[in-house]
Structure 1
Amino acid sequence: METIKVLPDELKGKTVEDMAITKSAVVIKFTDGTFFDIYLDKTAQSLKTSANKLDE
């Protein structure tokens, strides 16, 4: 089993605006427009993470 590490400093101080949970993913939206995703990569059969920020 793969261990996923989230660097708390990258998320520290952010306020959660919304969250969506499905069978294969969790997406957390922060009030500053940052999204943090935890999802199942079906081809690799492992959990992956990504973070991105939408600029308006």
Structure 2
Amino acid sequence: MLAGQAPEEELLRRLAPAVGLHVLDLFILAGAAVLDDVAPVAPLPSSGWRTW
């Protein structure tokens, strides 16, 4: 929470390297929804690739 507001996506993206964290880790710590472009990708045996 920042002044009673949830942090914005752009703030989390810029803040993560400054505090020595991966962007995904900071999204999780902040309780923010994890976006597809920062979610880990894992192969599925039948249909190719999938985000978690």
Superposed pair shares fold, TM > 0.5: no
Q: Which structure would you say has the larger RCO, counting Cα contacts within 8 Å and 6 or more residues apart?
A: 1
CA radius of gyration, larger in: 2
Structure in which a larger fraction of residues adopt strand: 1
Task: Select the structure that is richer in helix.
Answer: 2
